[in-house]
Amino acid sequence: MSTNTVNRVPRHTSEEVNRWIERETQERVFKIAANPALIDNRLRELDKEWDIERLLEANASALTFAGAVLGASVDRRWLAVPLVVGAFLFQHAIQGWCPPVPIFRRLGVRTAREIDIERVALKTLRGDFRRGEGEWDAKSRAAHALSAARL
């Protein structure tokens, strides 16, 4: 059974890891709220961050290519690698899980949505969506920005 695209990876990630990833994001946003001059630089970093889908696609294509080359040039048994990788990639497309997902998540690789939450929070802090909220302290602004980003 397939799951929706937005929540499929977090749904198949341990709650401990999901909370750790969320806590790391929150701490970065709180830190930057206290020093808004860092916002533009962090947004540029986020534009370069690979989400888990991109990392899985790159990983799968590299392994598939290597297995095919080795299968054609060294030993036909290497052709099992592209078959297994293809099966894992299909499993991920349907369920949002495959064997590399827990490893990548424990390394802090985020979903596109998790990256976007930080991006929108930072843009909110920068004032991109300002609606005359008035002056708040940095922690209140950071909490508001994260709340707005999760909507």
CB 89 within 8 A of CB 98: yes
**In this model, does residue 4 exceed pLDDT 80?**
no
pTM score: 0.83
- Reading the block at residue 118, the tokens are 């930080």
- Reading the block at residue 44, the tokens are 């540029």
**In this model, does residue 19 exceed pLDDT 90?**
yes
Long-range contacts of 17-22 (CB under 8 A, 24+ apart): 17/102, 17/105, 17/106, 20/108, 21/105, 21/108, 21/110, 21/114, 22/114
**In this model, does residue 76 exceed pLDDT 60?**
yes
Residue 132: the pLDDT is 53
- Place 138 in a pLDDT band, splitting at 50, 70 and 90: confident
Q: Give per-residue pLDDT as tens, 48-70.
A: 999 999 999 999 999 999 999 99
CB 80 within 8 A of CB 124: no
pLDDT average, residue stretch 127-149: 74
Mean pLDDT of the chain: 91
Please say whether the dihedral angle defined by the alpha carbons of residues 48, 50, 51 and 53, taken in this order, is positive or negative. positive
